[in-house]
Amino acid sequence: MIGSLLLAALFSGCSAAIQLVRAGSGISFRWFAASLFAAVVLGYSMRSIRRAEVRYVYLNFLIATRAAPTEALIAVAASSNT
């Protein structure tokens, strides 16, 4: 969901930049600044959520294999080498 909003904010920023170049009005600059700010906030939020998701997947993997972290990593490395 946040990824879709991020893409929408980026597209809005590109549209505002094109309008700013064509018309050069103040409203276009405010639109561009708001879109850029929204893209930065959403990008940071998406990064934070993605990092948390990776941690949850790693934790679920450890729980599912019922192994200690080092044993689980060794098992993954061994299976990827074969």
Question: Average pLDDT in the 67-73 region?
Answer: 60
| pLDDT given at position 55 | 78
Tens digits of residue pLDDT in 12-54: 888 888 888 888 777 778 888 898 898 888 888 888 788 878 7
Cα distances (Å, whole numbers) of residue 48 to 10, 22, 44, 53, 60: 19, 36, 6, 9, 19
| pLDDT given at position 65 | 74
Number of C-beta neighbours around residue 65 at 10 A: 12
pLDDT, greater one: 80 or 46: 46
Domain boundaries, the chain: 2-81
| pLDDT given at position 78 | 65
The pTM of this model reads 0.56
